[in-house]
Chain A
Amino acid sequence: MAETHSLQDMRQQAAITAKVFIQRDYSSGTMCQFQTKFPSELENRIDKQQFEETVRALNNMYAEAEKLGSQSYIEGCLACLTAYTVFLCMETHYEKVLKKIAKYIQEQNDKIYAPRGLLLTDPIERGLRVVEITIFEDRSLTR
């Protein structure tokens, strides 16, 4: 519950110093991948390694969501045969993975980013354009 308080506090009370945007990496096409380049604004807040690990994990999950495998082919053919009405009833594979991603981001926020005064925003809330990292005011300096 302590972590919960901190998340809520940061959203309501703490002043936002800056926002960093991790842009998309299009080198492998239109697949949803984010750049792993470490932004300079985060240098004194978090480990480069940690950050890269988070982004890589996100990239892997998005790759899994968009993967063209036998399962997606079967789903696609079945959907076509039913005039795609199954999309109205069933949760698609992509949506399942998005839920997993949301959980992962929340977990990362709780364990790693919130204690450092950072907050990751789920890219789906920004139209899968960017990973927004909000940098909150460092209260330990003001106290």
Chain B
Amino acid sequence: MKNCEYQQIDPQALPTPTPTPPPHHGNDTEKKKEPRRPRRKWEVFPGKNRFYCNGRIIVARQSGVLPLTLGLILVTSGLFFIFDCPFLVKHLTSCIPVIGGVLFVFVLITLLQTSFTDPGILPRATPDEAADIEKQIDNTGNTSYRPPPRTKEVLINQQVVKLKYCFTCKMFRPPRTSHCSLCDNCVERFDHHCPWVGNCVGKRNYRFFYTFIVSLSFLTAFIFGCVTTHLALRAQGGKGLVFALQESPGSAVELVICFFSVWSILGLSGFHTYLVASNLTTNEDIKGSWSGKSGEDVTNPYSHKNIFINCCSVLCAPMPPSLIDRRGFLPADESAQTGSADIELPTLAAKSEINVCTQGTKGLLESAALSPLLSTSCPQGKPQNAHSCPETSPALNSDPTSEFSKGCRGNHTSSSHDDTSRPRHTKARSKKCRREALHIPNPAFDVPVSPTSPDAAPDSKARSHKGGSLTPLH
């Protein structure tokens, strides 16, 4: 083994060092020399997401009907507290607003968490990784004109699972991962893209989503019950329902909203409870991956065969970390490799870099993050135009998506090395993508307006959810 050669090298004695500008030091001289302020990773994130509060909050580019969801919840709850609570407190018990308040807060918090949390986005492969995988694929492929196979088979718990190659993210998707066309990201344990919360539901935010719909069903049922009781009490003594409604018009609105929502939301909660108990995702259930429709004896390889353990593993498992490191700084090494390094390394920086290096690359980024350099907080609504090749298949994706991804593939391959650097390259890429996209039909623009409701469970209740919840708007 060769050693000692490396330990005795004196950094000053070596020929021209590769200019690697450090992310930053909090040192004023460095700041003045550096033409651009150090950028965080969210600013160059290639997916279709929006970031707020300097990368702390992440939402999908298309917020879907999240404002509507929020509006409905706030309006209904507001009307409940204004019109129904005073009467019910007087005639029944003061627990009612308390319970209502707790449920309302729960619903709101879990909704915001579902919407603003990274669902489990997988960062795209680095150029080196992508090249390595391409090399492996080419080695195993044949020499005929037919393109080499882009699937890999693995054996999980005695079950054969096919892993597909994602052309956009340039990697073989892990099991249960799917590429969301609306967000243009691969999401781990992809459940569905929910327009109601304006975000994908995946590994990291499924528990928030589940808690949201369960508490929302409780809240809706509770408000529905209270309003009915309220109107019934008012209509007592032969006064009639019309009189009661005239006295409390807000209750009429609540009644309509709750009546139409409660069935669909209860249905959705029931469906997701079934999914949780059998450790399935909506995506798998709809595609029938483990239902054995092909006649083979297939079982869900991820299920623990025990309802309690399944529930615990989905809802109570340790919270996985976000893999995209939104607030990390762009590493200096990668900027140098992509040729964007345009400053010389001052000797002062070399010295401090020695101290910083001991912590490793991640530590470098963390220590950089602690520096008081950074600029704006909450640059509101900064949209990311990085890879605006609009994936045009509807939200229930993967298979149609890969077809469209292929169309954009050439474009992505040529500029993939720019992922972590320049806005200039980003804009050029997005222009190229837009030109290609023009040739692709675009049904996706209908999606936010009349959501195809990726929540669409195979039963009719969810369909009425879509139809029913829109009815009060008329």
Contact = CB atoms under 8 A, between A and B. Distances in A.
Interface of A: 2-13, 19, 21, 24, 26-30, 46, 65-68, 72-73, 75-77, 79-80, 83-85, 87, 92-95, 98, 102, 105-106, 109, 114-117, 121-122, 124-130, 132, 138-140, 143
B404 interface: no
A138 B325 CA distance: 33
A102 B316 contact: no
Given A8-B353, A26-B154, A127 B318 contact: no
A12 B8 CA distance: 15
B65 to A, nearest CB: 22
Contact of B6 (A46, A66, A92, A115): A115
B339 interface: no
Given A87-B319, A139-B5, A139-B6, A30 B362 contact: no
Of A28, A75, A87, A115, most B-chain CB atoms within 10 Å:
A115
Contacts of B323: 124, 127-128
B171 interface: yes
B176 interface: yes
A84 B2 contact: no
Contacts of B155: 27
B360 interface: yes
Contact of A102 (B5, B9, B315, B360): B360
B163 interface: yes
Contacts of A116: 1-3
Contact of A105 (B113, B157, B360): B360
B317 A29 contact: no
A128 to B, nearest CB: 6
A10 B122 CA distance: 29
Interface in B85-137: 105-106, 109-110, 113, 122-123, 125-126, 128-129, 132
B312 A68 contact: yes
A26 B175 contact: yes
A68 B313 CA distance: 7
Given A92-B319, A102-B362, A138-B2, A115 B357 contact: no
Contact of B358 (A4, A21, A79): A4
Contacts of B128: 19, 21, 132
The 8 closest A-B pairs by CB, nearest first: A76-B316, A115-B3, A127-B123, A127-B323, A83-B109, A6-B6, A8-B357, A140-B5
B302 interface: yes
Point out which of B8, B9, B123, B208 has the most chain A C-beta atoms below 10 A from its C-beta: B9
A68 B362 contact: no
Interface string B276-316: 00000000000000000000000001100000010011011
Contact of B122 (A26, A92, A129, A138): A129
For chain B, the bracket of interface size reads 35 or more
Interface of B: 1-11, 14, 17-18, 20, 105-106, 109-110, 113, 122-123, 125-126, 128-129, 132, 154-157, 161, 163, 171, 174-176, 188-189, 207-208, 211, 301-302, 309, 312-313, 315-321, 323-325, 333, 353-354, 357-363
Given A29-B156, A85-B109, A139-B5, A129 B318 contact: no
A80 to B, nearest CB: 6
A14 B161 CA distance: 41
**B113, B312, B320: residue with the most chain A Cβ atoms closer than 10 Å:** B320
B416 to A, nearest CB: 15
Contacts of B126: 126
Contact of A26 (B8, B174, B324, B357): B174
B5 A143 contact: yes
B7 A5 contact: yes
